[in-house]
Structure 1
Amino acid sequence: MHDYQKRLALNLLAYAVQKNLSASQLCSLSGIHLNELSQESNFSLTTQQLNNLWLNATKLSQDPLFGLHFGESMQAAALGVVGELVRYSRTIGEALTHAAAFTQLITDLFAMTVTRTDQSFIIQFIPDTNRWGKSPFVFRQMMDFFMAFTIHEVDGLLLKKIQPTMVSLPVDGPDLLQYERVLRCHAIQNDANYVMEFDRRYWDEPILTADYELQSVWLRKVIELDESNSAKKSLSARITNFLMANAYIGVPSLDAIASNLNVSSRSLQRKLQEEGVTYQQLADSIRKSLALHYLQAGQYPVKEVSYILGYNELSAFNRAFRRWTGTTPVSYQKGQSAHHAEAT
């Protein structure tokens, strides 16, 4: 199951290890059990634990621009939500539009907006002033991370490197040169707003690894459900629609869905129970359909299907698939291949 903040924390630890820091020490100082974080479980990070992790990583690395450099180094595939969005988008503009809609799955410190003009498109990160004021240092590290990651996440997926024409953020002094290098921009303005502007020509730049078929399939299903449930939609139907519409990026956690619906996780669970269903049942239904689609297509190894669905371990995917179908993913895929061979 995807837990995007947990995935971000694991990648932060991996980057810290590259800088010769101890993952165990970082977790211990931050009040986190490394085993729980690294294993597949329902363990979720608290806001304080995540804040502590950023603070301690920055302190121990002796790198005040830790977030900026972390964002520069991390590739799209490392972060499930954005990585899958980028992977299944056709163009830069499409990928950024999806990414803006899902920023809240990773952080509640700010929102991301994307607007277009005749000559450019603008990405703005809008802080939630009620939240970031409690941890301004972590907020700044996260802002640096996301601005750098937004630029570098598509490296290797395009035939050219994307570069902003203008960047604004609060920065001056000796750090300016580092921001110019990482953000690939010499037109950086010292301003309270966090904004990046790009030439409009990048908007329609095709992503080399795009695969849009699956998203189209799920969106058609959502349209059909919208029509059949237009008179009255239950909460479970709304969640199912949301999961299907975004299944191409994996299945989010209960906490992520609750955040998207602006309710608490406990309240969401209670309302679903009143409808006679659990979130796990809804999520598993989507995972099963998604797994069957990928395995029937025959284009993806079982291990890759497991990763796309958000399983950290192949064994966990095997257990789930056997529970759904009574067989293993490998056996199912072989059976589909044999069936196709007979048909031809």
Structure 2
Amino acid sequence: MKQLVLSIIAYAVQRDVDAAQLCKLAGIDLAALKKSHTAPVTAQQLQDLWLNAARLTNDPLFGLHFGESLQPAALGVVGEIIRSSATVGEALTHAAALTHLVTDQCRMEVTRSAKNFTVRLLPAVDYGAAPPYAFRQLIDLLLMMVIHELDGLLLEKIVPQAARLAYTVPDPAEYERVFRCKPSKRVGDYVLVFDSRYWDEPLLTANYELQNLLLQKVSSLPQTAGQQKTLQNRIYNYLLANSYLGVSSLNDMAANFNLSPRSLQRKLKEEGVKYQDIADAVRHSLAVYYISSGNYPLKDISWMLGYNELSAFTRAFKRWTGSSPVQYNQSL
């Protein structure tokens, strides 16, 4: 629970919210929360944290967008699952047993049939068709964590066959964009359904190391107040922190910041920069970082940065640095 609360606060800060103000409104002592031995956050404090995070970001879908923004291992769970699992099925089974590390408000159940497998969240309290706001935010977050977990395990973006929620979603088009399928309503259901072909897929042993490498890069991000105030720096940091499966598109970034693509472009223009410039700067930084690590083939680096063809990555890298990836690697 403590890590979840800290992650909610961190994402709100990424969205240009003052952490001290948010914690004050939620009745949370941030300094005490960061200490190893602190009293647990109460249900009311968590409810107030979700409500005020949504209000201060002007984003009623705060939980959904928070879930979309999570990189693998963001809550410290996925990396451990990868290290202890051989297949996707094993990983999901382990994940179900570890749900309590994130929340005590629901548990996860994974079932399998010949055609598909289902990930179901089972609430500790039956809210029927009208769960409280904070619980809906939590459900959105957890379901997106499942999708991100599968993305991270297989190094590809997984599309669920179905998504079912117990409540009517406020913005169906945005939920469909984030969940990658159109959600339906069924009272009492919080469900994602996936094609059974993924179940026995072996996990790539390098995934855990790749996640750690990215997290090390993210941990070096400057966190000064001045840098957080400009939109371009906030977007740069966001893209870098969530680049495990490529760099987000303008439309996805605008939606996550609760802006229209045109508004995002206009705000960046006022700062004298284009979105593509920021995206390229992130790809450049990560490309140099991954190549300098000396641990991964160029084709893997190319894929991680969102290039389907190594030749396209090579052209881009040469544009950024004046040399090809191979030449750069040889010069190290």
TM-score, normalized by length of structure 2? 0.57
2: CA distance, partners of 1:9 / 1:103 = 15
In the other structure, the counterpart of 1:73 is 69
2:132 pairs with 126, 130, 136, which one? 136
2: CA distance, partners of 1:65 / 1:154 = 22
In the other structure, the counterpart of 1:191 is 186
* Residues 111, 119 of structure 2: 8 Å contact kept: yes
2: CA distance, partners of 1:135 / 1:195 = 15
- 1:28 Cα deviation (Å)? 0.9
Structure 2 residues without counterparts, runs of 5 or longer? 209-332
* Residues 76, 83 of structure 1: 8 Å contact kept: yes
Residue 20 of structure 1 pairs with residue 44 of structure 2: no
* Residues 92, 206 of structure 1: 8 Å contact kept: yes
1:126 pairs with 95, 109, 122, which one? 122
After TM superposition, the structure 1 = structure 2 runs for residues 40-51 of structure 1, keeping only pairs within 5 Å, are 40-51=36-47
Structure 1 residues without counterparts, runs of 5 or longer? 213-344
In the other structure, the counterpart of 2:164 is 168
1:206 pairs with 185, 202, 205, which one? 202
Give the direction of change, closer, same or farther, for the CA distance of 1:132–1:118 in structure 2 (3 Å limit).
Answer: closer
Which amino acid in the other structure matches residue 23 of structure 1? A
1:37 pairs with 21, 25, 33, which one? 33
* Residues 114, 122 of structure 1: 8 Å contact kept: yes
Give the direction of change, closer, same or farther, for the CA distance of 1:133–1:106 in structure 2 (3 Å limit).
Answer: farther
CA deviation string 1:104-125 (max 9, x = no partner):
2322222211000011101111
Residue 89 of structure 1 pairs with residue 85 of structure 2: yes
Give the direction of change, closer, same or farther, for the CA distance of 1:135–1:53 in structure 2 (3 Å limit).
Answer: farther
* Residues 24, 34 of structure 1: 8 Å contact kept: yes
2:102 pairs with 91, 101, 106, which one? 106
* Residues 123, 197 of structure 1: 8 Å contact kept: yes
Which amino acid in the other structure matches residue 60 of structure 1? L
CA deviation string 1:241-270 (max 9, x = no partner):
xxxxxxxxxxxxxxxxxxxxxxxxxxxxxx
* Residues 157, 209 of structure 1: 8 Å contact kept: no
Which amino acid in the other structure matches residue 100 of structure 1? A
* Residues 51, 138 of structure 1: 8 Å contact kept: yes
2: CA distance, partners of 1:167 / 1:173 = 12
CA deviation string 1:67-104 (max 9, x = no partner):
11111111232212344224432222111111111212
* Residues 162, 193 of structure 2: 8 Å contact kept: yes
2: CA distance, partners of 1:144 / 1:80 = 19
Identity within the alignment, %: 52
- 1:172 Cα deviation (Å)? 4.9
Which amino acid in the other structure matches residue 85 of structure 1? I
* Residues 92, 205 of structure 1: 8 Å contact kept: yes
2: CA distance, partners of 1:82 / 1:211 = 10
- 1:128 Cα deviation (Å)? 2.2
Which amino acid in the other structure matches residue 199 of structure 1? D
After TM superposition, the structure 1 = structure 2 runs for residues 1-344 of structure 1, keeping only pairs within 5 Å, are 5-129=1-125, 136-170=132-166, 172=168, 175-186=171-182, 188-192=183-187, 193-209=189-205
2: CA distance, partners of 1:45 / 1:131 = 21
* Residues 89, 210 of structure 1: 8 Å contact kept: no
Provide the aligned C-alpha RMSD in A: 2.6
In the other structure, the counterpart of 1:224 is none
* Residues 17, 57 of structure 2: 8 Å contact kept: yes
TM-score, normalized by length of structure 1? 0.55
- SS of the residue corresponding to residue 20 of structure 2 reads helix
- SS of the residue corresponding to residue 53 of structure 1 reads helix
Which amino acid in the other structure matches residue 126 of structure 1? L
* Residues 162, 202 of structure 1: 8 Å contact kept: no
1: CA distance, partners of 2:45 / 2:170 = 31
1: CA distance, partners of 2:129 / 2:206 = 39
Which amino acid in the other structure matches residue 198 of structure 1? F
- 1:43 Cα deviation (Å)? 3.9
- SS of the residue corresponding to residue 56 of structure 1 reads helix
Give the direction of change, closer, same or farther, for the CA distance of 1:135–1:165 in structure 2 (3 Å limit).
Answer: closer
- SS of the residue corresponding to residue 76 of structure 1 reads coil
Give the direction of change, closer, same or farther, for the CA distance of 1:8–1:174 in structure 2 (3 Å limit).
Answer: closer
